[in-house]
């Protein structure tokens, strides 16, 4: 009886290992396929700084100017727009190295899967993506998908990973943003240039001699 029990346990453990390997292979194949697909050419959701196409099987629960909470097949996931990436790439024209931080509490975690590559966005330029999946102690998974200008976060089961990644790619690849408006609001250089311009104008109005109170009196006249 003990031998039968040991054999069943061995088969079960081997089966789990094979399933994990299959899932990783399927994820790699899925990401490669999604990267090569053309982006959606139009958008259906509009925000002050950007717009995007939302698949019909994805519902939006709530949102603010930079973030949105969605639901697909009972799984909630968050999308965050990253204006700093727009400033870095479009204004400063710098390359960045992205580091994804794991924000998991209560229990030990183990990195289950990690992959990265490039994809073509709606702007007809190639951007980087990084996919990181962490296995949690309760058997669920933390999915972090960084797609340069937007990043996604979700906690879900293994069978839900691939369908959700497909929707995330569709949304991110369709993203269109107002570069000038983003830079105007979030660029430190543009803010400092505005301050310096104001100072220069103020200095030009200062008299070569006399006091500041005399200038104020002249303005009032």
Residues 48-107: tens digit of each pLDDT: 999 999 999 999 999 998 999 999 999 999 999 998 888 776 665 555 444 434 444 444
pLDDT tens-digit profile of 61-76? 999 989 999 999 999 9
| pLDDT value of residue 28 | 93
Residue 171: give the domain boundaries.
2-181
Is 210 a member of any domain?
no
Does any domain span residue 207? Answer: no
- 203 assigned to some structural domain: no
How many angstroms separate the CA atoms of 146 and 152, rounded?
6
Task: Report the alpha-carbon distance of residue 172 to residue 192 in Å, rounded.
Answer: 31
The predicted model scores a pTM of 0.70
3 — pLDDT class (breaks 50, 70, 90): very low
Number of domains in the chain: 1
Structure tokens at 207: 């008299």
- For the stretch 111-163, pLDDT in tens is 899 999 999 998 888 989 999 999 998 989 999 999 999 999 999 999 999 99
User: Of 13, 95, 80, nearest to 49 (Cα)?
Assistant: 80
């Amino acid at each position: 009886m003990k031998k039968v029990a040991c054999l069943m346990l061995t088969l079960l453990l081997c089966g789990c290992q094979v399933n994990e390997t299959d899932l990783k292979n399927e994820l790699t194949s899925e990401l490669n396929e999604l990267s090569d697909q053309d982006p959606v050419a139009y958008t259906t959701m509009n925000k002050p700084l950007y717009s995007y196409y939302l698949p019909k099987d994805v519902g939006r629960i709530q949102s603010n100017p930079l973030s949105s909470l969605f639901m697909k097949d009972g799984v909630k996931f968050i999308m965050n727009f990253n204006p700093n990436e727009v400033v870095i790439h479009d204004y400063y024209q710098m390359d960045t190295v992205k580091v994804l931080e794991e924000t998991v509490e209560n229990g030990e975690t183990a990195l289950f899967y990690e992959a990265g590559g490039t994809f073509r966005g709606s702007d007809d330029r190639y951007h980087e993506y990084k996919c990181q999946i962490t296995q949690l102690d309760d058997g669920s998974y933390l999915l972090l998908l960084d797609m340069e200008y937007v990043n996604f976060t979700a906690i879900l089961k293994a069978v839900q990973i691939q369908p959700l990644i497909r929707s995330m790619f569709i949304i991110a690849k369709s993203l269109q943003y107002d570069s000038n408006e983003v830079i105007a609001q979030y660029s430190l250089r543009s803010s400092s240039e505005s301050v310096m311009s104001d100072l220069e104008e103020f200095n030009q109005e200062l008299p070569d001699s006399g006091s500041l109170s005399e200038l104020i009196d002249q303005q009032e006249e």
